[in-house]
Structure 1
């Protein structure tokens, strides 16, 4: 695990105190890992101590190949408060690794105590120089020894003056190789128990590719969480099969709901049109899932970074974002950046960083940054919001440049001119797509999709007439028009005591009273097109479509 390597290297580099932001449920496993992978190489395996408020200091004793036991330490008796505990560690006259659990509230926030803060700062200076002066035969000799401190806690955020006082690390959950080992051990255990209880082996029906999908689904879960989820799946289904993958995904999402993360459901209707965007996504589905080596190319291709979708309201940006998650088979984490803005300076950036960490935690996933232009509009001009927009922009740019987790970003914006140039420049995203009013072919597809929601179908001639009458209508307006026509038809049929049926006249009535936004504000649409003229179109432009036909849900084609 990366965090273990970094902790060990920091201690070897004479760093005195390292903090590890880690889940509370994993404390024993983490202490076990530190004992074997940090204390042992530093030759501190016989002097590892764990402190917490409930039991004070206990000696940590590794057992066998895995697991730990605790032993009471008489010389540390009565050190339940942080200050005497830190003092005991400071005066301990031998080498040792001291692990403090949940001491961080006394170092930050409302519960911070100056005496604890001061003690930790002094220890940061003194621990790397620990030793004892021994006088023998009239000569005094300084005998150094190794003494190090680890702070364990969840959601730690130290003040700025702790920079280089406490070196902060983040716990990383098991990687795919480790998950495979955990799975093999657990399946052996499940199988043994099934044989003992029922005289038969556990039913395991997972292909190699399904095992890989299972481990991808479990990425971001801690060891204990994955073990619990897998055990629940076995109890639920009485077997390990493809249903286990969906179970693990649902378990992971349920876990993260406590953080108020908004998970977007797949779109309720298929996406109509966007053939160029669709083809681009199709090319990259395999890349994202496997981060694979290009077959025959001899090069390693990284997973795609993401895309920026720009278009006026109603053109289908949100629908596209949801459908991309569905196509990739990944959960969609939605962040409304504007909704994160807080009146307290610094709080917005803090909230955003937490949400980005959660996205990495649940990865692989799609991160949908909705309406980024509204949130970042003030980042390029004079500071009018206490620097919040600039802080948000800086946080996003740093994260997008540095992230290693497989998070596919889909950012949506109504106006490209509302975005800072550094956000949309080349390299931030794999591509920037512009969305516009649908072509005649796309309008026919969209109308058919929304008619299908009501189990309706117009004759070919009626559909053609509607397509020709809705030039410059965006997808959302076409959906509203179909719904309005259904309501109009229902009202008409009720008044006339007729069986329900939607006729072309119902659509014509709606067309008479609805005016699309492109006709209400033609200058705004023209200005938008000028701003995005150099970006990729999401759809083949009308003038480039060779045959003005549209394939319906049957084999018939309609001339437009």
Structure 2
């Protein structure tokens, strides 16, 4: 048993000591939260008896949790049955008569609190419970407090289990399975694999991953973690196995990330935001969405990155220049999860719902990464981003230009090997090609059974299709952004000189 009181319970005890009547606790595991609070915080000073504790949910109605509540509930119901308390607003009326010092846990409050009868019923208990005193505790994974309760409801947050708690869960499951606990190194790996899970699923997955012959199965723990992340709206774990050696060019970007992950305090997860300018296209004053959802979500993300001292870098450049590939490969390279972050999938019709889903996603990210995250965003147009968002990405902006002649040579070698294209097949003219266009040429040559030169006839490079946009991007990047290909700032003249001779002519 823990010897010190958890922070959540300490806050709960302090709130009860000053007769706070209305509480909300955001928690990933309500049953564990109730158990934790009952362990420490439901006895009045000088008493060995637990105060009356009730629990309400929409399936069972109002139920007693301990003997003190059994007697009280019988008096409340009289000759009626507990099923009459299924209706939440009627139950809230009934709660006016609970005995002093009672605690009532109200499950899945986020599904009912927006109902006008429920919110009014909660508010009606404020002064009654303050005077008794008694406490109504709303439990929810996230909660959007309506305006009428905003100043009356104290919201507490229970974070997902930390490393010490997860280690204790592993040891406890090993004892129950009569298996020796893992070594210190294996324990550290197992805890890392469990981070982000609530206590109950952590117990279940550890129990399923133990065997007397092989000990703890780390692969199974990681698979459950991937499933948990993927079940969170807007989050998914990248499942590719690309490494930096599979990416030609952009050596400065790869070197920077490699040093970052091998240095002091390396990130424990990568969060990848693809085409971030599209995620926040409605946040600029010139293009604000009418609902205010995008602006509100931007504020939530900015606050998170500021409060959690999150690190970040933005990769900008024309399409096809390996920005996304480098971001995703960095997770595999470092042996940490690469989590794709889709803000659009978190959006709902109501501002509060969207913010709640974003906060839930960020909470999972924090737990998975032990609050040590590297955000990598890609963009084709940094000028479309709000300046306050750019400031949060404190590692700056790296410009991914079209690959130089030397970089293209490396890229050709990688994809010729991948598609088994013989060395004697000549390369086509490729000035102004991106790495993605080189890959497409090799893929077409393999699929069509033709030469690279013939395959190149089906490719119009982005340097031709979007010549004006490319020129504007390079002008923006010149001396302002870091180069992804070489140390220091991007220099437009140097980059253009490195493109090589114009081997292929295009006629407009």
8 Å CA contact 1:219–1:362 kept in 2: the answer is: no
| Distance in 2 of aligned mates of 1:43 and 1:481 | 79
Residues 147 and 225 (structure 1), Cα distance of their counterparts in 2 relative to 1, 3 Å cut: same
Alignment of 1:261-410 (within 5 A): 261-267=235-241, 270-286=246-262, 287-289=265-267, 305-338=311-344, 344=349, 346-347=350-351, 350-351=353-354, 353-363=356-366, 405-410=371-376
Q: Tell me if the contact between 1:306 and 1:410 (Cα under 8 Å) persists in the aligned partners.
A: yes
Cα deviation for residue 312 of structure 1 reads: 0.8
Residue correspondence of structure 1 range 134-153 to structure 2 within 5 A? 146-153=133-140
Find the counterpart in structure 2 of residue 500 from structure 1: none
Secondary structure of the corresponding residue to residue 135 of structure 2: strand
Give the Å deviation of 1:412: 1.1
CA contact (8 A) 2:72 2:98 kept: no
Distance 1:84 1:446, change over 3 A: same
Go from structure 1 to structure 2 and tell me whether the alpha carbon gap of 1:203 and 1:42 turns closer, same or farther (over 3 Å shift). closer
Q: Which residue of 2 aligns with 1:471?
A: 431
Give the direction of change, closer, same or farther, for the CA distance of 1:413–1:70 in structure 2 (3 Å limit).
Answer: farther
Per the normalisation by structure 1, the TM-score is: 0.69
Q: CA deviation at 1:406?
A: 2.8
The 2-side partners of 1:41 and 1:438 are apart by 70
Aligned partners of 1:537 and 1:414: how far apart in 2?
15
Shift of 1:363: 4.3
Give 1:278 deviation, angstroms.
1.4
Matched, 1:250 2:250: no
Would you say the 8 A contact 1:310–1:415 is kept in 2?
Answer: yes
With over 3 angstroms needed to count, the CA separation of the structure-2 counterparts of 1:113 and 1:472, relative to structure 1, is same
Residue 126 of structure 1 deviates from its aligned partner by 3.3
Deviation at 1:107, TM superposition (A): 2.4
Matched, 1:57 2:63: yes
Displacement of 1:250 in angstroms is 0.9
Q: Is contact 2:317–2:380 with CA below 8 Å preserved after alignment?
A: yes
Report the counterpart of residue 455 of structure 2 in structure 1: 510
Higher relative contact order (CA 8 A, sep 6+): 2
Q: Which residue of 1 aligns with 2:123?
A: 121
Structure 2 length as normaliser, TM-score? Answer: 0.75
CA 1:203–1:439 in structure 2 vs 1: closer, same or farther (change >3 Å)?
farther
Question: What secondary structure sits across from 2:105 in the alignment?
Answer: strand
RMSD: 3.4
For residue 229 of structure 1, report the CA deviation from its aligned partner. Answer: 0.2
Distance of 2:375 and 2:353 partners within structure 1: 20
The equivalent of 2:379 in structure 1 is 413
2:404 to 431, 435, 439: 439
- The CA deviation string for residues 318-369 of structure 1, in whole angstroms up to 9 with x for no partner, is 1112112212323333234456666x4x45x733641452243154668xxx
Per-residue CA deviation, residues 152-185 of structure 1 (Å, 9 max, x unaligned), is 2344333222212222233322110111122122
Number of residues of Structure 1 aligned to a counterpart in Structure 2:
434
Match of 1:94 among 84, 89, 100: 100
Which is higher, the Rg of structure 1 or of structure 2?
A: 1
- CA–CA distance in 1 between the matches of 2:268 and 2:374? 13
**In structure 2, what is the equivalent of residue 451 of structure 1?**
416
- Asked if 1:239 is matched to 2:214, the reply is yes
Structure 2 unmatched ranges of 5 or more: 1-5, 270-307, 499-508
2:8 to 3, 21, 31: 3
1:181–1:166 Cα change, 3 Å: same
CA distance 1:181–1:483, change in 2 (3 Å): same
SS in 2 for 1:446: helix
Whether the 8 Å contact between 2:166 and 2:191 is mirrored in structure 1 is yes
Please, which runs of 5 or more residues in structure 1 have no aligned partner?
Answer: 63-68, 131-145, 192-201, 292-301, 367-403, 493-505, 549-560
Pair 1:46 & 2:45 matched: no
More strand by share: 1
Which residue of structure 2 aligns with residue 21 of structure 1? Answer: 26
Distance 1:39 1:210 in 2: 37
